[in-house]
Amino acid sequence: MRTPARHGLRIPEDGAVVGYDDVEISASLTTTRQDPVKAGRLLFAKALLAHEGHEPTSERLPTELIGRESCGA
């Protein structure tokens, strides 16, 4: 968020900033949250299937959007 400010832009008035995975360092960022354990298990299972010659399928995990200051929430 410092880079837009250096160029005279205001967050969220002039644009929104969105993070990923709700990490502590981005406490004021709008972000998404998923279950990292479930995501890791799914990724590992799909990697094993791919290694065995199977075509992995696409899946979506439940994702929560957490609106914070960086989007005007």
3-state secondary structure the chain: CHHHHHCCCCCCCCCCCECCCCCHHHCCCEEEECCHHHHHHHHHHHHHHHHCCCCCCCCCCCCEEECCHHHCC
Confidence (pTM): 0.59
Tens digits of residue pLDDT in 50-59: 999 999 899 9
Boundaries of domain holding 11? 2-71
Q: What is the mean pLDDT of residues 19-37?
A: 83
Euclidean distance between CA atoms 19 and 29, whole angstroms: 6
Distance CA 67, CA 17 (A): 10
Mean of pLDDT values over 24-38: 85
Domain tally, the chain: 1
